[in-house]
Structure 1
Amino acid sequence: MSLFQDILKLWRSDDLLAQAWNESYEMLNLSREFFVQSVKTLRKQIDDKPIKALKKRDREINDFQRVIRRKVMTHLVMRGNTTDVPTGLVLINMVVDIER
C-alpha cells in the first residue's frame, strides 16, 4: 500500500521536472558561492575551518546533483511524455557540469 501512496503522491505533486529546474538554480548559486569562498581561502590560507566548510558545501552540491537527477529520471519514467526527454537530458548534463 505504501508504494501505491508514493505513486499517487508523485502524480499529485508539482511537476518533478520543474522542481528539478528550480533546484538546479539553487545548486548553481551554491556552486558560485563555493567557488568564491574557495578562491578567498586559497589566497589567504588562514586555517582549516574554511576548508572544512568548503568540503561541507561540496557534499551539499553532490547531494543536489543526486536529487535533481533522481527527480528528472522519475519525471521521465512516470509521465511517459517523450517531449520532455531532451529537456530532461539537458538538465542532467547541466547539473553534472555544475557539480564539476
Structure 2
Amino acid sequence: MLKKLKEYFSKESLLSQSYDETEKTLNICSEMFDETVRSLRYSDTAELKIDIYEKDKQINKYQQEIRRKMMTHLAVSPRKEIHNALVLISIVIDVERIGDYAKNIEDLAKNHPKKLQVGKYEDTVKKLEAEVKAKFKSVTSAFASDDIKAARDVMSEHRSITKQCDIILNELVSKPYSEIGSNDAVALGLFLRYMKRVSAHLTNIVSSIVNPFDKIGFKPDEEELEE
C-alpha cells in the first residue's frame, strides 16, 4: 500500500513534500524520546540538551502543513487518491502523539528529584529503553522501503515490549515495592506506561504497510503473521 503511495508522491510535489515531512517528524520524535529518557534515567538535574517544546512545535507545524497539503491535493485530484491521503494523515496523528508522550517523560523527569533508580528491574527497563529506541530506526526504515516483513517484525516486537511492561506494572500494583521506594515505584509505573504507548504508536505507523486503511492500528490476521 505504501509503495503505491510513494510512487504517486514522486509525481506530485505536494504529496512528495508531505511524505518527506512525515519522515522528518519521525526523526524529531526519536530525538525527543532519546533525550527525555536520558534526562529521567541518567541525569540528576533533569536538564535537557534540546528544547523539547520547540521540537513539539515543529511536529505540530509539520502536521498542520501536511493536512493543508492533503486538502489542497484532494481538491484537484482524482477520487482514487483520497485513500492515500487518509493513510498519510493517519500516520502523522500517531507521530504527533509520540511527541506528546516524550513531553510526558520530560515532565516526569522534572518532578522526579534524581535520576530514576529501579532496583531489581534495572536490566529489564534498560532493555526496554533500548528496544523502543531501536524501534524508531526500524519503523523509519520500514516506512521508507515499504518493507512488509520488517513491518511485521516491528509489530511482533511490540507484543514483547507490552508483555515485559505489564509484568513489572502488575508486580508494582500487587506486591510490596520497598526495595525502590514509593516515589520511584510510581515514576517507574508511569515511565513504563509511556514507553508502552510510544511503542504502540510506532506499531500503528508500520501497520499501514501491512493492513488496509480500515485496519491501520490493528493486528493483522494470525494467518498473515505466520506466512
TM-score (norm 2): 0.35
CA contact (8 A) 1:23 1:68 kept: yes
Query: In structure 2, what residue type is equivalent to 1:46?
Result: T
2:16 alignment partner in structure 1: 18
| 1:46 partnered with 2:28 | no
Match of 1:69 among 67, 70, 80: 67
Query: In structure 1, what residue type is equivalent to 2:82?
Result: V
Runs of 4+ in 1 over 2 A off after TM superposition: none
1:91 alignment partner in structure 2: 88
Higher Rg of the two aligned structures: 2
Q: Structure 1 residues 45 and 62, CA, compared in 2 at 3 Å: closer, same or farther?
A: farther
Q: 1:60 Cα deviation (Å)?
A: 1.0
CA contact (8 A) 1:28 1:98 kept: yes
What is the CA deviation profile of residues 20-58 of structure 1, one whole-angstrom value per residue up to 9, with x for unaligned ones?
01110111111111111111112224255x287111111
CA contact (8 A) 1:62 1:99 kept: yes
What is the CA deviation profile of residues 48-88 of structure 1, one whole-angstrom value per residue up to 9, with x for unaligned ones?
5x2871111111111111111111111111x2311211110
Match of 2:32 among 16, 34, 48: 34
CA contact (8 A) 1:17 1:75 kept: yes
Query: In structure 1, what residue type is equivalent to 2:26?
Result: L
Give the Cα–Cα distance (whole angstroms) in 2 for the partners of residues 59 and 45 of structure 1. Answer: 26
CA contact (8 A) 2:25 2:95 kept: yes
Query: In structure 2, what residue type is equivalent to 1:15?
Result: S
Give the Cα–Cα distance (whole angstroms) in 2 for the partners of residues 22 and 80 of structure 1. Answer: 20
SS of the equivalent of 1:46 reads coil
SS of the equivalent of 2:45 reads coil
Give the Cα–Cα distance (whole angstroms) in 2 for the partners of residues 45 and 92 of structure 1. Answer: 39
Give the Cα–Cα distance (whole angstroms) in 2 for the partners of residues 66 and 55 of structure 1. Answer: 16
Query: In structure 1, what residue type is equivalent to 2:31?
Result: E
Structure 2: state its 5+ residue gaps: 1-11, 98-227
Q: Report how many aligned residue pairs link the two structures.
A: 85
Give the Cα–Cα distance (whole angstroms) in 2 for the partners of residues 18 and 74 of structure 1. Answer: 13
CA contact (8 A) 1:15 1:75 kept: no
TM-score (norm 1): 0.75
Structure having the higher helix fraction is 1
